[in-house]
Structure 1
Amino acid sequence: MLTGLEDAGIIALWAVALVRAPQGIRSREQRPLWFAIVMIALAMSTHLDPVTAVLARMVPSAHWIDLTTHLFSIVDGAAVLWFILQAARRRRRTALVSGAAVAVMVVLVFLDVAAAPHARNQIAPSPDVPSVPDAYWWIFFAFHLTADTTCGLVCWRHSRRGSVPPSLRYGLRLFGTGILLASLLWVLKLAYLGTRSPVFAPLFSPLTGAEALFIAAGVALPFLIQMRALLRYHTSHRGLAPLWRDLVAAAPDVVLSPGNRLRAATVPIQLRLYRRVIEIRDAMIVLRSYVTQATADQVRRHVTDHAIPEHLADAHITACWLTAALHSRDTGQIPEAQTLNLAGDGAHDLTEEISYLLRIAAAYRSPVVHNYRASLSGRHH
């Protein structure tokens, strides 16, 4: 069941790295995170059999592959710790991280070169098998354990601050959990180093997979929430389109930025939606001058007669008087100044305003308003 967990986790990491690549490369703030994810994915990938097989054809000695992988892993651990400290505004310690990483790499190379000739840099099952000394592994594992534990604890501590947005808070916790799983992995490897017990080895791969999945989820969560928000903006923008088209056709002066569609498509969707909300509201203010008190009373009776649910009644009333105003304008009625507050008091924030206008837009296409529109046409003829 857990045999493919490591592969799944590494694939998830690469997927997140590829999806975040455009933003990670362009944004100075996002670049360290993206670089750290790529480094983690690369370090984990070098342990996979297909990658090892490719490297074996490129490098004459497996020993050099192992040493390079370990040195690369130190860079990976330092990169992640550097990013976390930067994000937590602890920049003074980044020089210490870089210095420690370079020192550990130098020591590992020295221990490797000073050791007796050996085919692989692996923990020897017995003293009779030539390999690097145990000091090599103690230093290697201790560096990772210290770096990863620090990263995980900083992530969790930072996520508890009240100023952190919910998406980032949960993302940090997922990311921190993944890093702390890596710490558990190093503890198990230290236990294996001290005992050489075969009990620990089968746990390494699934734990690595779980670590990768949690890290990928932590990095992807804010991005997915952002994508969900963009999708919601697009959906709202399209939902308001039929109402908006009819209103701005009757009151073209309310359009804030007339232009071709290609130019409009380059404007961020949040700004386009905000403009559409303003233009609808401005058009409602213009069109209310075509509505008399008698029409307003008639609209209320029409909606009441159709037994519209209470929470939708106001939206249907607004859609009906807008329909009446458009009809009056089209038939040449002269607008008159009036004090009716037909446009409503407005919402407390943009999200609430969008929801309110979407209810009006839905009512505008409803059978109740369609019947009212038909009655106006019949009355006119």
Structure 2
Amino acid sequence: MNAVFLGMACLLAAAASYWILGRGKPRPAGTWAMGALLASFALAFATYAPLFENAVEAIVPHVARLLSNSASLAAATSVLAVSFQVNLQPAEARRRIRLRLFLLGASVSGMAVLLTVEQMTHRSPQVYALYLLLFISYLGFAIVDFLQQTLRQSKSTRRSSVRIGLRMAAAGCVFALVYAAYKVTVLFSLGLDLHLVPDHARCSSLVAVPCVFSVTSPALAVLLICLGLTLPAVVYPISQARRHRWEVRSFDALGPLWQDLSAAMPEIVLSAADIDEDGANDSDFLLQRRVIEISDGILAVRPYCSRSVYEAAQRTVDAGTEQGSAIVEAMVVKAALAALQSGHPADEVAVPSATDTASRAGDLRAETQWLLRIAEAYAHAHGGTLRVADGGQPEPAGA
């Protein structure tokens, strides 16, 4: 148990140090609250370890319980503070946090006084019951408050990592409620002298009763809430790296189509005068620019897109699929570029489907994926897999 709890305490302390000292400036909203949350959980885990408990109680008898409970309340308050700062307006978040901090200070001060009285009265069960009542009242209030916010936010968020993290935190709240229910049971046992729970029992196993409720449940609650709240921060740089790789690969894959369109119509290339050094190295900006230029080029070449080529291409491939539609578009664009270079506009212009265009409006990823399909088909046509025969009729190469 010492290895488990002290190991988790060290990991959480390191995470707290990174969150507070290693995030750089300007610090995002909730940085200090998250640091306090991780530090409080680190202290809570440390107090669960028998080695730490024996060490501190050798100095002040029975103080480990107060440290553990105080850390739990501080962590619960920090959880609420993180949620408030991320999801509420700054003024409202500060107002709610101040109220919770006042309640936290009052609860911890009252618990310290009651612990002192309990020791002076030879561990009176009645005083201990009052101590538990004060502790569980604030903890239960904080858990229910955070659980409600977590469930509400998990339904509205769009990011999958945030949604999964919030659901993990909600699961941690469930384990915290199990711990709170155990404490209520202890409270009633003391108040009614039922002896349902051994008084001041020490735990030697994580699965033994009542340790599964008094130690394992809060430990799982701490672990799930910490993982849930930090998951988006861990996943974000990974998702950003994957997105950057996709943007770079997409930019390169669109190159051949862009080169032919821009060579035939140099006016589609946007001005580079307003691009700063950061923009020139930003894969997202460069990809958006290339998508816009290709889209403008396809629109500009539309007067040369022959309806007869379009209809012949539809007969050649299965135009009912996205890949088939992309092949048709690539064949039409290739024929249109040839017609543009020869100076022969189409007698009857092929009109693209408005439904397909509307479904991609404002969605860069969807538009990019559509152009990638066209670029792939265009590259095959350009390389000889498909060609436009005399008379503007597309046909497989070697036919």
* Same-fold status (TM-score > 0.5): yes
Hey, what's the Cα distance between the residues in 1 that align with 2:266 and 2:348?
23
Amino acid at match of 1:208: P
Amino acid at match of 2:212: P
Amino acid at match of 1:361: A
Identity of aligned residues (%): 21
| Matching of residues 93-242 of structure 1 within 5 Å | 93-116=96-119, 133-157=128-152, 159=154, 165=158, 167=160, 171-192=165-186, 194=189, 195-197=196-198, 199-216=209-226, 218-219=228-229, 224=235, 228=239, 231=242, 234-235=245-246, 238-242=249-253
Q: Which residue of 2 aligns with 1:350?
A: 362
SS at match of 1:358: helix
Hey, what's the Cα distance between the residues in 1 that align with 2:25 and 2:47?
26
Hey, what's the Cα distance between the residues in 1 that align with 2:16 and 2:348?
58
Hey, what's the Cα distance between the residues in 2 that align with 1:97 and 1:208?
21
Asked whether the equivalents of residues 179 and 218 of structure 2 are also in contact (C-alpha less than 8 Å), the reply is yes
| Matching of residues 41-60 of structure 1 within 5 Å | 41-47=41-47, 49=49, 52=52, 56=55
Hey, what's the Cα distance between the residues in 2 that align with 1:145 and 1:319?
63
Amino acid at match of 2:278: R
Q: Which residue of 2 aligns with 1:123?
A: none
If asked which structure has higher relative contact order (CA below 8 Å, sep 6+), I would say: 1
Task: Check 1:98–1:15 CA distance in 2 against 1; reply closer, same or farther (3 A cut).
Answer: closer
Deviations 1:112-138 (A, max 9, x none): 4445489xxxxxxxx7899x9453343
Shift of 1:147: 1.7
| Matching of residues 57-68 of structure 1 within 5 Å | 61=59, 63=61, 67-68=66-67
Hey, what's the Cα distance between the residues in 2 that align with 1:333 and 1:298?
16
Q: Say if 2:264 is the partner of 1:263.
A: no
TM value normalised by structure 1? 0.69
Q: Which residue of 2 aligns with 1:122?
A: none
Task: Check 1:335–1:108 CA distance in 2 against 1; reply closer, same or farther (3 A cut).
Answer: farther
Asked whether the equivalents of residues 239 and 361 of structure 1 are also in contact (C-alpha less than 8 Å), the reply is no
SS at match of 2:47: coil
TM value normalised by structure 2? 0.66
Asked whether the equivalents of residues 250 and 372 of structure 2 are also in contact (C-alpha less than 8 Å), the reply is yes
Shift of 1:71: 3.1
CA-atom RMSD in angstroms? 4.9
SS at match of 2:386: helix
Task: Check 1:135–1:317 CA distance in 2 against 1; reply closer, same or farther (3 A cut).
Answer: same
Deviates more, 1:229-238 or 1:5-14: 5-14
Question: Residue 243 of structure 1: which of 247, 254, 257 is its match?
Answer: 254
Hey, what's the Cα distance between the residues in 2 that align with 1:96 and 1:80?
14
User: Which stretches of structure 1, 4 residues or longer, exceed 6 Å deviation after superposition?
Assistant: 2-25, 127-130, 259-262
Hey, what's the Cα distance between the residues in 1 that align with 2:181 and 2:65?
20
Question: Residue 378 of structure 2: which of 358, 361, 364 is its match?
Answer: 364
Q: Say if 2:326 is the partner of 1:315.
A: yes
Amino acid at match of 1:76: A
Asked whether the equivalents of residues 320 and 364 of structure 1 are also in contact (C-alpha less than 8 Å), the reply is yes
Deviates more, 1:276-285 or 1:133-142: 133-142
Shift of 1:98: 1.5
Task: Check 1:301–1:153 CA distance in 2 against 1; reply closer, same or farther (3 A cut).
Answer: closer
Asked whether the equivalents of residues 36 and 79 of structure 1 are also in contact (C-alpha less than 8 Å), the reply is yes
Task: Check 1:106–1:292 CA distance in 2 against 1; reply closer, same or farther (3 A cut).
Answer: closer
Amino acid at match of 2:334: T
Shift of 1:155: 2.9
Shift of 1:182: 0.9
Hey, what's the Cα distance between the residues in 2 that align with 1:240 and 1:264?
14
Deviations 1:342-364 (A, max 9, x none): 66643332334333223212323
Asked whether the equivalents of residues 115 and 133 of structure 1 are also in contact (C-alpha less than 8 Å), the reply is yes
Deviations 1:150-176 (A, max 9, x none): 22134335556xx65474566544423
Query: Unpaired segments of 5 or more residues in structure 1?
Result: 119-126
Task: Check 1:98–1:263 CA distance in 2 against 1; reply closer, same or farther (3 A cut).
Answer: closer
Shift of 1:303: 6.2
Hey, what's the Cα distance between the residues in 2 that align with 1:105 and 1:334?
84
Count of residue correspondences? 356
Shift of 1:218: 3.6
Task: Check 1:336–1:232 CA distance in 2 against 1; reply closer, same or farther (3 A cut).
Answer: same
Amino acid at match of 1:267: D
Hey, what's the Cα distance between the residues in 1 that align with 2:33 and 2:346?
58
Q: Which residue of 2 aligns with 1:82?
A: 81
Shift of 1:148: 1.4
Q: Say if 2:349 is the partner of 1:340.
A: yes
Hey, what's the Cα distance between the residues in 2 that align with 1:282 and 1:61?
76
Task: Check 1:347–1:208 CA distance in 2 against 1; reply closer, same or farther (3 A cut).
Answer: same
Task: Check 1:240–1:68 CA distance in 2 against 1; reply closer, same or farther (3 A cut).
Answer: same
Deviates more, 1:333-342 or 1:244-253: 333-342
Shift of 1:247: 1.7
Task: Check 1:335–1:40 CA distance in 2 against 1; reply closer, same or farther (3 A cut).
Answer: farther
SS at match of 2:293: helix
Asked whether the equivalents of residues 12 and 42 of structure 2 are also in contact (C-alpha less than 8 Å), the reply is no
